Structures are given as structure tokens and as C-alpha cells.
Amino acid sequence: MRSDGRSRTQLRKIRVVKNYTKYAEGCCLIESGQTRVLCAATVEEGVPPFLKNTGNGWVTAEYGMLPRSCSSRIKRNDTGGRVHEIQRLIGRSLRSVVDRGQLGERTVKVDCDVIQADGGTRTAAITGGFIALALALKRLKKQKVLKNIPLKDYVAAVSVGIVEGELLLDLNYEEDSRADVDMNVVMLGRGDFVEVQGTAEREPFSKAQAGQMLTLAQEGIQDLIRIQKRHLGALLP
Amino acid sequence: MRSDGRSRTQLRKIRVVKNYTKYAEGCCLIESGQTRVLCAATVEEGVPPFLKNTGNGWVTAEYGMLPRSCSSRIKRNDTGGRVHEIQRLIGRSLRSVVDRGQLGERTVKVDCDVIQADGGTRTAAITGGFIALALALKRLKKQKVLKNIPLKDYVAAVSVGIVEGELLLDLNYEEDSRADVDMNVVMLGRGDFVEVQGTAEREPFSKAQAGQMLTLAQEGIQDLIRIQKRHLGALLP
Amino acid sequence: MRSDGRSRTQLRKIRVVKNYTKYAEGCCLIESGQTRVLCAATVEEGVPPFLKNTGNGWVTAEYGMLPRSCSSRIKRNDTGGRVHEIQRLIGRSLRSVVDRGQLGERTVKVDCDVIQADGGTRTAAITGGFIALALALKRLKKQKVLKNIPLKDYVAAVSVGIVEGELLLDLNYEEDSRADVDMNVVMLGRGDFVEVQGTAEREPFSKAQAGQMLTLAQEGIQDLIRIQKRHLGALLP
Amino acid sequence: MRSDGRSRTQLRKIRVVKNYTKYAEGCCLIESGQTRVLCAATVEEGVPPFLKNTGNGWVTAEYGMLPRSCSSRIKRNDTGGRVHEIQRLIGRSLRSVVDRGQLGERTVKVDCDVIQADGGTRTAAITGGFIALALALKRLKKQKVLKNIPLKDYVAAVSVGIVEGELLLDLNYEEDSRADVDMNVVMLGRGDFVEVQGTAEREPFSKAQAGQMLTLAQEGIQDLIRIQKRHLGALLP
Amino acid sequence: MRSDGRSRTQLRKIRVVKNYTKYAEGCCLIESGQTRVLCAATVEEGVPPFLKNTGNGWVTAEYGMLPRSCSSRIKRNDTGGRVHEIQRLIGRSLRSVVDRGQLGERTVKVDCDVIQADGGTRTAAITGGFIALALALKRLKKQKVLKNIPLKDYVAAVSVGIVEGELLLDLNYEEDSRADVDMNVVMLGRGDFVEVQGTAEREPFSKAQAGQMLTLAQEGIQDLIRIQKRHLGALLP
Amino acid sequence: MRSDGRSRTQLRKIRVVKNYTKYAEGCCLIESGQTRVLCAATVEEGVPPFLKNTGNGWVTAEYGMLPRSCSSRIKRNDTGGRVHEIQRLIGRSLRSVVDRGQLGERTVKVDCDVIQADGGTRTAAITGGFIALALALKRLKKQKVLKNIPLKDYVAAVSVGIVEGELLLDLNYEEDSRADVDMNVVMLGRGDFVEVQGTAEREPFSKAQAGQMLTLAQEGIQDLIRIQKRHLGALLP
């Protein structure tokens, strides 16, 4: 049994509040246990220079932490390497499910702001960011700006890790800080991976362990996508 | 009657959620109508260089807006002149009620992050920031780090303005953008002012109008301090 | 009697040197006692993006201090919160008297550089900045770029304060550093206010005191506008 | 057959020039086909603040590209997200084989500068960076600063990918730009992984494909470690 | 005859106002024709890290231009390559005459701020900067902080150039912008050079021309040092 | 005899590797003794704003040092005053030989990156930068983008100095750090100077010494230009 009472292969409790703020074209507050991330999608006409006149749209993400989202205060507006790494991961993950030709020359920016951090903020940002993105795209369809919702699949993410020899799903902060291996996995609704990032924080891992982690992550992400579907209703044909 | 149904001299509905996040030494989410500000107080041992070995503590504030707290997205981490101006105002206002000698060589940083902006974010940040500060100081007393709560009075703030010739209390964004005059007033529990910042956005104002605005602000702030007292319980001797 | 021999309600000696430097479209060196500020107005064709194709012009200000304008050297190019706050105040004050439609799509930048600081640099910058601005606009009329001088009124500023219980006009640095309350007031020629910024540095102030400060500031600013008129000649219809 | 004549499972030709420059404590120029990276290890006494008085040392990496290392010139000193991501990866990989207790309170900084880029610069930087690090540590032992070489294992890295359905080892730039999946793998001499970073650039990948990529990477890295051993001689007990 | 009526070998009119501002330890306003530079020397206890515990002092300079010191406004706080180059030149020139052992572990910072620019600002800054520095050092002796004035010689600077084939002393802006060659020369009282910086802006120059320029510069600088002596009185033993 | 066995008037051994990297339009690695600089010329269509529609091209240079090119590691991406000064010098020197009208509205950027520093990096960058520039321009002619090679002359550079009373050509780092005077000289093939920058690091120098240094530099640069000619073949009519 884990410190918060979960079994080894159990996700934390997920709570999704759609349209948590009123201005964003798509928005949700996602909570995964004590981790809370506000995801807000902004739609802007136009694309970055490298896409001009290609007919394709763009999806990008930004990630931030409120200064006191952590146990000790972090400097405001700190955008070091970790932040860049995370927002690039979120952006690639969300782009993997968007039909950018159908989107047309528009940019969707998904802001993921961590209100409270207890491990797994980047995976919560992907899972919640997809909901915010989908809500914004649904609205564009409803407003008849787009004919179809330009999504090819669902996408969600979870972490898995090895802590004291045990394989665990969805690590909280306390588990993450003791983990030998930490792996973030991003997967589509159809079960294929778009990102696998495994890091041996203390002990290297074998190919067999890599396989076990991927299997466990698959099960967790299937649950997350079920939750996404519940909140988003019919989205894909 | 105003667009949101209030009378000219009525505050928006205030909602205070204490301890909205779990890590800060003192924290509240304050909502004033549609404006929502998360205030988090962090206590750190030590003071800035200019206070070393004086025996006095320091209180400072930082202010930020989430990128999609506004109707159109603002650039992340934008800390132009407006932000500096606001956080200096919040800091001065909070310091005005702290007995810095009793606090000792400690620093309290109050982060005020705007989740949703609908006018009056700086005054909500002062009113809510005081609650976060007071909660942090109560905790220090409870932990016996401090013998007394080093507060001399309550402090809260409100805006008043002149819109199409009418004197209004607590402007929302739509009113603020039409105002001829906009005045932010910060006042203590005992009824004296610590800050008065009146700006003629369109039309200059007379001394008589200045007096009327101060009177209206006093009434509004008295209500706000009543709310602070309800949430904070016995605080001052 | 005050340290420099003035009565409580007396301005410091004002000296204005028009066209102190040769390049600016309008320029003056203003001295208020030991405070010396060089104000230079630059006229540029075009306006910031948010005003394009509106037919309106723009007026903005920048404020700086030479490193050794103060008793201890300040870091060169330091543009922290105080500088932003001051240059925004100067800009708003100057804009309040400009008919931006008559100015047309032009920008006037007023640089206010403190050569020597002895209290009241921001108010001297407003009073002197108006002279530089007016000289630049007169030149545009003389060059037949403009048909009329696009000014609606005069504008000047002064500080008032409460020092050891005494109400004082136009505080110098030594007085300012002992003041309980410090209020900067910006007023038009017709006697109405465009900015009132009162701060309780040590002791809060009552509504009655606020009124007395405004009255004293009005008298001081009337004198300053008399001096502006003497240097600028016929300006308004 | 691939564009440069290799089989699907063949590494590019590796060339290592030890001590390419004269000042660094350890240095090598590593060439992998047309990719050329200069790796230079600097030893400094002392550690970052978070390690002070722990008795442990630190190993970190920086990564840069010369402006014309690429087919089109890149801006000098561009340290966006990609650079941060890469240098964090190199640093973690090198730290995974260092016995930081035996190193003591010293810092080794490994600078990896790309002279010419043709795909696989980050993996070449890890493979070559290890050689530079090992040379620096050997020197410390020779100088009797250290009693033992504080290394626990060898570490090297390679990329694998899926290009038009084919599994390929060690992608060059042209292959990388057409790849559906790109995976960077970092492995120890004993065959366990320290980093696995797989990204679906175009098409997601299955668990079976993930396993095949890991197997192919293992074979490639074993070859690279054989080359490291040839250049470094007896290193580990 | 030149545009301002001077002969080819004549300096512009020099005007020196000592103690132009009241706070600096040493200060002068130097005017060379229409060029006006305010030089202010600040004395601070302590030296930069690389001089700690050597017993030697440090002298450094900073150079800035007010935004409207030029015919078209320059961006405030612009510290590009030109500014760095100039302040390094001023610093080296002033250090060349200071006995840094006698100065002891103190730093003198000389701020050179251009009020109005009409060519030759860097040489005026050296000539005036020396006066500000000497005044500050005299004061230290008078205050008995130093036993002797730690100066070894006078130092001053002038520009020479070749304009349409003519050798000219002390170029103003209009001449400088037409010059084929522009040379800044820094010389000691005893007639030896500390800096010679000649640049062919349009046409290269021969060794014979280099010699002629140095001779002409020597004569000009001798005049400048005579002026320094007149303002500084007895300075050297 | 000097520490590296040279006579007083002897250059260090020069080695030039043309096309050291494959992407740049013109490229050479130049070695002068232990000093190694990689020079890469990039040709881009278009010119900076101040040259638009003038029909003239632009040539500019950037200079950098790899972190471990020096005996102690320097901070990556450090672009302080020294770097600006050097790259401005290189740029001016290269522009002095280019017929910018014949080049047309194109920009050539010459990146000079120091791989190993042992004195004389800026002069090696000029001598090698010219080769890279000439190779790029030859290629433009070969590609029939240009009708002629738009070069007016060769340009190269060397340092001379006075070390313990001795006049030395081409100082290495150890000599440079003991020098009383250090002079960088840039000269054309026809024997005229484009830049002379002499600095008295310790002892001022007389006009006679200035003359001797220029003579010695002339001889050294003539040798360098002979080497340039050998590598570049027929270049000028």
C-alpha cells in the first residue's frame, strides 16, 4: 500500500472542472490527487512565420508554476531548462492529434499553469491540455469557423516509475523523489505511443523493466482517456 | 442600476477561500464578483541587505496575471511598468499595518496571482493579501516563533470612480474602461488612509469630487474589513 | 522655518533654461532649488501600433537619473519599478492636456533626465516636461506642420506632505525622507486635478488632511503655471 | 542500403582525437560520420550551493553549436529550449556513472561544442563527453588529487529511428528529418539504460516497435563502448 | 578655414565647470565647442574581486549618452559595442596615470554622460574625466584619507583626422562624418602616448600620415593639459 | 631568442585549412602557432535596414571563444565589451577591402570562433576571416551570382609590442601578458593601414617607438598576405 492508500497500479483521483475561467476559448482545471493544473486554450488567427502560406495551423503550449505551488517558494517567471523541456513536450504531444490542415492557418496556444504541485504536473498538463484544446476546437466548429473538429485521436499522459524495486503508476511528489527510475509516457486513444521519456534517477533499468513500465502506463492512460471522453462527449467521428 | 445589477454604492459579492493551496504559510483565494486573485504568503528567515542587523522584518508583494486571466491573452511573465507599480502599491499597503520590530528579521512575501480579471485586481490583491499575511503571522504565533501577532491594524482597498458623471463604488472592467476618473483607495481599520491614487483617465476632477470619492471609498472599505474580521477571528488585542 | 529658509507654503526657487540643448524639438532645463531636470521633447512621425489609422497622436515620457545625481551613486540604466511608475505618471499627465486628434499620427517623446536630485524630481519633470512639449508643438505650428498648437490647457505638478505634523509645500529630499505623508498632485490651469497620489510613508492620514493637502497643492501649482506662462508666451486661444 | 552506404544496423564511422586542445583537463574531438563535436572537461574545486558540505562532487554539461555548424547559419548564443533539454540530458547521463562521493567536493564541467552537425549531435556529445570526463579524472588520479578514478561504468549513446517503416541505427540529418520515430538511448557498459527518449515525429509507435528500437540501440552502444575502451585503456577495476 | 571658423590645427573652445553637481566626490562639466560631457567621480571603499588583498586600488569609467544628446534621438540605455569600447578606453586612459598602490583598496568610478554630442565625446570624456578624478583624489588627501595625491602624470585626449586630404585637429561631428581617417590619441603630460586608435573610415593611410597625425595630436593635447593645470592647481610634486 | 624559439621579427608558423567545415559558403581554419580560429563566411540575400535600396552590400563579423579555448574556462556566451570591440574591428577591417556596390544588396557574415587561444586571436581572425570571405565571394562568382569578385585588395593583421624594452612581432599569450605596449595593426596589400590600435598596458610609448612598431608590423603583414595569396590563387585583376 502506498502513502496515499493507493494500490501499485492505481491512478490518483482525477477531477476535471470545465470552463473554470470565463475568457479562454477552451479551459479546464484538472486535479490529479493534490496536483492542480489550470489549462487554458487561446485561439489566434495566423501562424508563426515558418508556416505562413502552407495552409496548416499550429498548436503550442506554455507551462508555468505559481511561485507558491511548491513546498518552498520558487522564483516568479523562472523559465530555466526544465520549463522549456516540459512545454516542448506538451506542445509535441498535443500536435500529434491535431489535423493541422483542417485547422487552417490558426494557432492554438495552451497555457498550463500549475496551481499546486504534487508530482506529475507535466502529465496532468497534457491530459488536461487536451481537454482545453478539444473544447476550443469544438467551439470553433459550433461557431462554424471550422467545418469539422480537426482532431485525429485523444491523447493523455501518465508517469510510471520504479521505487524501491516496486513498479508504481502515477507517482506523487514523495514517491517521485525516492524513485530509481521515472518514466513519462504519452499515448493516443488507439494505444500507440507519441512520447516515452524514461530517466534513471538512481539505478539504470533493463529492457524487461522498460517493457513492464510501458504496459503499466498503457493501462493508466486508457483510464485517463475514458475520463476525457466522459467530459468531452462525442468528439471524433 | 449598473450592468451587474448593483446600486452605485454597492460592493461586488466577495468570496474568500482560506488555505486554497496547501503549501503557503498563509493563503486565500479572494473573489470580488468575477475577479479572482490567489494570495499566498511565504515566510522566510532573513531580510534584504538594507535591513540586516536592524532587528526589523520586511513584507513585500509580487503580482502576476495568468496569461488567459483576461479577455485577450497576455504575454507570460510580462513585468512591465504596470506590474511594478501594482506590486509596489500592495507591498507598501501591507507594510503599513505590520509591526516590523515585532516581526524580527524575517521576510514575508505575498504573491498575488490573478486567475481571472474583471477590474479591481490590485485592490482585491490588497484585501486578500492582508488575509494571507495575517494567516501566516497567526501560524507563526501558534508555532511560538512569535510571541504576538505583529499587526497594528486591518487594511483593505477598493476602487471608486466617476463614470458618465456618476460616482460609483468598486468598478468592474466594463465600468473602469468607460470611467472619467479612477481612484484606488487603501484604508486602515481605524478609518485613515494609507494610499490614495486618483487618475483622470478622461476628465479632470475637482476638489469636491475628490472628497466625495474618498467618502464613498471609506464606506466600501469598512465593509471589506468587516469581511476580513469574519474570516480571521480575533487578531488584534 | 524650514531648513532652506522657506515658509511652510512656499515653493523652492524655480529656474527654467529654454533650449538648453540644441537638437531636441523642444527642450528645457528646469531647476527647483537643488533639483535639476533636463526635459527634451522629440517629435517622430507615426504612432504605436494600437493607434495606427485612428488619426490620433501619442505623447509618452521616459525618466532617468544620472548615476551621480544622488548622494550615493546609483547603478546606470537601472529601470526598476520606481522608474516605470514615474514615467507612466509623467506620460499620463502630459497626455491629459494634448488634443491628440489635432496632433495627428505623430508621437512626442519627452525625456526627463535628472542631473541632480533633491526631492520632487517627478513633479519637476512634469512641470518642465510640459514646457519642452509646448516648445516642440509651437515649433510644429511655426513650421506649418500643424495648423494649431494642439494643447487644451497647462499642466504642472508639485508635492505636498506632512512632516512632524506640519503641512509643507514642495518637499526637498531631507524633508521627504522625514515625511509621514507624501502626496504628488498634478493639476491643470483651470484648477482641476489629473493625478493625486498620496502615500502614508509613516502615519496614515485623515480625510480632512487629504483636503488640506489638495488645497495647498493647488496654490503651489497655480504659481508654477504662472511661471510656465511667462516662459511660453501666448499658447492657448 | 542507406544514402551513405551503411546497412540498417550499422553505426557511422567514429573518429576520436584525444587532447584536441591543450588547456582542458580532459578533451576529445569526436566525429561520427560528418557530425563533429568538441568535448572539453574542466575541473573546478567546489560545488554548487545545494551540495556544499555533503562531501559529494558534481558533474554538469553545456552544449553549444557554432553558428555555421549547420546548413543555414544559426544565431550565435541561442540558448532556447532545445539547448537546455540537450545539456540536461548530457549532464544526467554523465553523472550516472560517476561516484560523486569519491570525486569529493569538485565540479567537472563538460563543454560539448558542435563544430559540424549532421544528426546525432547529442548522442555524440554523450559518447565523447564521457571520454573527456574520463581523461580528466585519470589526470586527477595521476596528479594524486584522487586515489581512484571515481567512475562506476562506461556510458555512451546512440539514436535509433523508424524511417519509412524501416528500423535504422544512428540516423544522419537527412534520415532524421524524414523519420516517423526518433529515439535517443543512453546505456551503461553493463547493458542497462539510463535514458530512453522516444518521440513520434510523424507516426506513433507500438510497444513492439519500442522494444525493437531498444534492442538495436543496445547493439550500437556496445560498439561505441568498445571504441571508448580502446581509447581510454584500463579505467575501471 | 573650417565650418566653425577654426584653422586646421586649432582646438575648439574648451570650457570647464568644476563641481557642476554637488554630490560627486569630484565633478566637472567639460565643453569642447558644442560637445558637452558631464564627468563625475565616485569613490567607493573596496575593489573588484580580482584585486582583493593586493593593496591596489581600481579606476574604472562608464559612458552614456542622454537620449536627445544627438541630432536624432537614440534609445535610452543602449549599451551596444560602441559604448563598451569607449568606456574601456576611458578606463584604461585614466588608470595609466594613477598610482594604484598609493590609492589603496579603493575604487574610483568616473561616469561620463554626454549632454550634447558634436564629435569628440570620448576624448572630451578622457580630458574631463581626468579633472573629475583629480578633484576626487585631492579631496581624499584633504580629508587625510590619503597622504599623497596618487597621480603620476596628467592625461588628456584629442582626435585628429584626414578630411578631403587635409590633416585636421579636433574634428567636430560634421568633419568626422566626412573623414577618410579618424584617430583618437591619448597622451600623458610628459608627451608619451597611452592609446593610439586610428581607423580608416574611407581611405587607408600611410606610415607618413600616421606620423603627421601623431605630431598634430601631441600639440593639441599639450594645450589641453595646460587647461587642466589651470583648473587643478598644484597637483603633482 | 623568444620562449618559442623565434627571432624578434619572426611570425609564428601559419597553417590554413580551407573548407574545414562543409556548410559555410567560405571557410578556413587558421592556426598561428598555438592559436586556432575557425572562420566561416555566410552569404545572405538582403542587407540591414540602413542600407535598403542603396544597391550596396554589407559585411559584418562575429567573434566568440569556446569556453575552454583558454587556460581557465570562460563563461559560455559571454559577450562583454572585449568581444564587441573585437568583432567591430574585424568587421571594419573586412569591409575596407570590399567593393560593396559590386557585392549588391547581400550580407556576408564572417563568424570567427576561437578553438584555442594563445595570443593574437583578433589578428588571426582578420587574416583568416579575409580568406573565408574571399572563398565565399569566389563561389558567388563561380555560381554566376556575381560578375566579378568584389574585392579591392587583400587585408591581414598582426600584433607588435614592446616587451622588456624589446620590439617583438606577433606576440603569443605569455609575451602579451608581460608587454608594456601592445599594438594591433591591420594593413592592405598595397601597404597602407586601415587600423592601428596601440595601447600602453604598462609603460607609455614615444612617437619614435610608434614608428618602429608600424614598420615591423608592415613586414609581418606582407608575409601574411603572401600566404593568403598562396591559398587563394588569382583573386584580383
Whether A9 maps to a domain, the answer reads: no
| Contact between chains at E215 and F206 (C-beta distance less than 8 A) | no
Q: How confident is the model at residue D14 (pLDDT cuts 50, 70, 90)?
A: very high
Q: Do F198 and E199 touch (CB under 8 A)?
A: no
Instruction: Give the mutation candidate from A25, A72, A73, A106 for the B interface (greatest B CB count, under 10 A).
Output: A73
Confidence bin at D201 (pLDDT 50/70/90): confident
Instruction: For C74-94, give one letter per residue: b (16+ CB within 10 A) or e.
Output: eebeebebebbbbbbbbbbbb
Within-domain flag for B9: no
CA–CA dist A124, B164 (Å, integer): 47
Sequence length of chain E is 237
Nearest CA in chain F to D72: F23
Between CA F174 and CA F178 the distance in angstroms is 7
Chains touching F, CB cut-off 8 Å, 3+ pairs:
D, E
Question: Is chain C touching chain B, with at least 3 CB–CB pairs below 8 Å?
Answer: yes
Cβ–Cβ pairs < 8 A, chains C and E: 79
Q: Mean pLDDT over residues D33-39, rounded?
A: 98
pLDDT reading at D237 higher than 80: no
Contact B192 C205 (CB under 8 A): yes
**pTM confidence score:** 0.91
Taking alpha carbons only, the member of A166, A101, A110 closest to residue A134 is A110
Q: Which amino acid is present at C48?
A: P
Give the tens place of pLDDT for each residue, F43-98. Answer: 999 999 999 999 999 999 999 999 999 999 999 988 778 899 999 999 999 999 99
- How many angstroms separate the most distant Cα atoms in chain F? 56
Asked if C73 lies within 8 A of E111 by C-beta distance, the reply is yes
CB contact under 8 A, C198 and B193: yes
User: Taking 80 as the threshold, does the pLDDT of residue F156 lie above it?
Assistant: yes
Chain A residues at the D interface, defined by Cβ less than 8 Å, are: 80-82, 84-85, 87-88, 92, 96, 183, 187-188, 190-200, 204-207, 210-211, 214-215, 218
pLDDT at position D150: 97
Is D68–F116 a contact, with Cβ atoms under 8 angstroms apart? no
What's CA C103's distance to the chain center, in Å?
Answer: 20
Is B85 within 8 Å of C80 when comparing Cβ atoms? no
Residues of B with CB under 8 A from a CB of C: 80-82, 84-85, 87-88, 92, 96, 183, 187-188, 190-200, 204-207, 210-211, 214-215, 218
Distance separating alpha carbons of residues B141 and B25, to the nearest angstrom = 12
Mean pLDDT of F86-114: 97
Residue F121, all three cell numbers: 586571436
Contact C191 B199 (CB under 8 A): no
The answer, yes or no, to whether residue D79 has pLDDT greater than 80, is: no
Say yes or no for a CB contact (<8 Å) between C68 and E24.
yes
**Is the predicted pLDDT of residue D1 greater than 80, yes or no?**
no
Contact between chains at A66 and B38 (C-beta distance less than 8 A): yes
Chains E and F touch (3+ CB pairs under 8 A): yes
CA distance F168 to F179: 9
Compute the average pLDDT of residues E182-195: 97
**Residues of chain A by 3-state class (helix, strand, coil), percent to 5:** 30, 30, 40
How many domains does chain B contain in total?
1
**F contacts of D116 (beta carbons < 8 Å):** 21-23
Return left, alpha or beta for A191; rule: phi > 0 is left, psi -120 to 50 is alpha, else beta: left
pLDDT tens-digit map of C51-90 = 999 999 999 999 999 999 999 999 998 877 899 999 999 9
- C115 with E113: CB under 8 angstroms? no
pLDDT exceeds cutoff 90 at B191: yes
**Contact call for A198 and D195, based on CB within 8 A:** yes
pLDDT at A234 (0 to 100): 80
High-pLDDT (> 90) share of chain E, %: 93
Within 8 A of A81 by CB-CB distance, chain D residues are 81, 84-85, 87-88
Task: Report how far apart the first and last C-alpha atoms of chain C are (Å, whole number).
Answer: 41
Report chain D residues touching chain F, CB-CB < 8 A: 21-24, 27, 34, 36, 38, 40, 42, 44, 62, 64, 66-73, 76-77, 79, 109, 111, 113, 115-116
Q: Given strand E155-163, what is the order of strands in its sheet?
A: E166-169, E155-163, E181-188, E193-200, F193-200, F181-188, F155-163, F166-169
Contacts of A37 (CB under 8 A, 6+ apart): A29, A30, A31, A112, A113, A114, A115, A121, A124, A125, A128
**C211 contact partners, CB below 8 Å, separation of at least 6:** B207, B210, B211
The C-alpha atoms of residue C51 and residue C45 are separated, in whole angstroms, by 13
CA distances from A152 to A99, A155, B184 (A): 6, 10, 50
pLDDT of residue E16: 98
Contacts with B196 (C-beta within 8 Å, 6 or more apart), sequence order? B183, B184, B185, B186, B214, C183, C196, C197, C198, C210
Give the model's pLDDT for residue F145.
96
Chain F neighbors of D109, CB-CB under 8 A: 67, 73
pLDDT surpasses 90 at E80: no
Query: Does chain D reach chain A with at least 3 CB pairs under 8 Å?
Result: yes
CA of E83, closest CA in chain C: separation in Å?
A: 13
Q: Are there at least 3 beta-carbon pairs closer than 8 Å between E and D?
A: no
Domain encompassing residue F192: 14-232
| CB-CB neighbors (< 8 A) of C80 in chain B | 84
Q: Is the model's pLDDT at F189 over the cut of 80?
A: yes
The yes-or-no verdict on residue F227 having pLDDT over 90 is: yes
Contacts of E72 in chain C (CB under 8 A): 23
Judged against a pLDDT cut of 90, whether residue B79 lies above it is answered with: no
Which residue does chain B place closest to A66, by CA atoms? B113
Record: contact B192-C215, CB cut-off 8 A: no
Minimum distance, in Å, between the CA of residue B22 and any CA atom of chain C: 31
CATH code of the domain covering residue E174: 3.30.230.70
Q: In this structure, are residues E150 and E98 in contact, taking their beta carbons and an 8 Å threshold?
A: yes
As a whole number, mean pLDDT of residues E99-120 equals 97
| D39 pLDDT above the threshold of 90 | yes
Is residue B155 one of the residues assigned to a domain?
yes
Residue D112 CA to residue F77 CA, distance in Å, equals 13
Which subunits sit against E, judged by 3+ Cβ pairs under 8 A? C, F
Cβ pair B68:A34 closer than 8 A = no
Q: Which three cell numbers stand for residue A151?
A: 482532431
**pLDDT for the residue E107:** 98
pLDDT tens, N- to C-terminus, chain A (237 residues) = 798 899 999 999 999 999 999 999 999 999 999 999 999 999 999 999 999 999 999 999 999 999 999 999 999 988 778 999 999 999 999 999 999 999 999 999 999 999 999 999 999 999 999 999 999 999 999 999 999 999 999 999 999 999 999 999 999 999 999 999 999 999 999 999 999 999 998 999 999 999 999 999 999 999 999 999 999 988 887
Residues of E with CB under 8 A from a CB of F: 80-82, 84-85, 87-88, 92, 96, 183, 187-188, 190-200, 204-207, 210-211, 214-215, 218
Mean pLDDT of C174-203: 96
**Interface contact flag, D198 A200, Cβ < 8 Å:** no
Q: How confident is the model at residue B3 (pLDDT cuts 50, 70, 90)?
A: confident
SS (H, E, C) chain D: CCCCCCCCCCCCCEEEEECCCCCCCEEEEEEECCEEEEEEEEEEECCCHHHCCCCCCEEEEEEEECCCCCCCCCCCCCCCHHHHHHHHHHHHHHHCCECHHHHCCEEEEEEEEEEECCCCHHHHHHHHHHHHHHHHHHHHHHCCCCCCCCECCCEEEEEEEEECCEEEECCCHHHHCCCCEEEEEEEECCCCEEEEEEEECCCCECHHHHHHHHHHHHHHHHHHHHHHHHHHCCCCC
Quick one: average pLDDT of C181-194?
Answer: 97
pLDDT at D235: 85
pLDDT at D37: 98
In a domain, A28, yes or no: yes
Q: What is the pLDDT of residues B107-127, one digit of tens each?
A: 999 999 999 999 999 999 999
Is residue C68 included in any domain, yes or no? yes
Per-residue confidence (pLDDT) for residue B125, from 0 to 100: 98
Name the β-bridge partners of C39: C28, C112
* pLDDT given at position F228: 97
For residue D70, the chain F residues in CB contact (below 8 A) are: 23
| F160 contact partners, CB below 8 Å, separation of at least 6 | F167, F168, F169, F170, F171, F183, F185, F213, F216, F217, F220
Q: How far is the C-alpha of A147 from the C-alpha of A141, rounded, in Å?
A: 6
Is the confidence at residue E73, as pLDDT, over 90? yes
Contact A96, D200 (CB under 8 A): yes
To which H or E segment does residue B62 belong? Answer: strand B58-65
Positive or negative, the Cα torsion across E197, E203, E204, E207?
Answer: negative
Pairing of strands F106-116, F58-65: parallel
Q: What is the pLDDT of residue E184?
A: 98
- Give the distance between the most distant pair of CA atoms in chain A: 56
Amino acid in position A36 = R
For residue B80, what pLDDT is reported?
A: 78
Confirm whether C76 is domain-assigned: yes
> Pairing between strand C106-116 and C58-65?
parallel
In a domain, C7, yes or no: no
Residue B8 within a domain: no
Task: Give ∠ CA A106-A110-A115 in degrees, rounded to 5.
Answer: 165
- Averaged over F150-179, what is the pLDDT? 97
Minimal C-alpha gap between D203 and chain A (Å): 8
pLDDT at residue E78, rounded to an integer: 80
Tell me whether residues D68 and F23 touch, CB distance under 8 A.
Answer: yes
Nearest CA among A39, A211, A54, A19 for reference residue A113 = A39
Q: Do the chains contact at C67 and E42, CB–CB below 8 Å?
A: yes
Strand partners of residue F130: none
- Among E84, E92, E214, select the one facing F84 at the smallest CB separation: E84
Confidence of residue C1 (pLDDT cuts 50, 70, 90): confident
Tell me if C116 and E21 make a contact (CB, 8 A cut-off).
yes
pLDDT at A21: 95
- Chain C residues whose C-beta sits inside 8 Å of any chain B C-beta: 80-82, 84-85, 87-88, 92, 96, 183, 187-188, 190-200, 204-207, 210-211, 214-215, 218
* Rounded-to-integer distance, Cα F111 and Cα F29, Å: 11
Is the distance from CB of F129 to CB of F58 less than 8 angstroms?
Answer: no
Pairing of strands A106-116, A35-45: antiparallel
The answer to whether the CB atoms of C116 and E67 lie below 8 A apart is no
Average pLDDT, chain E: 96
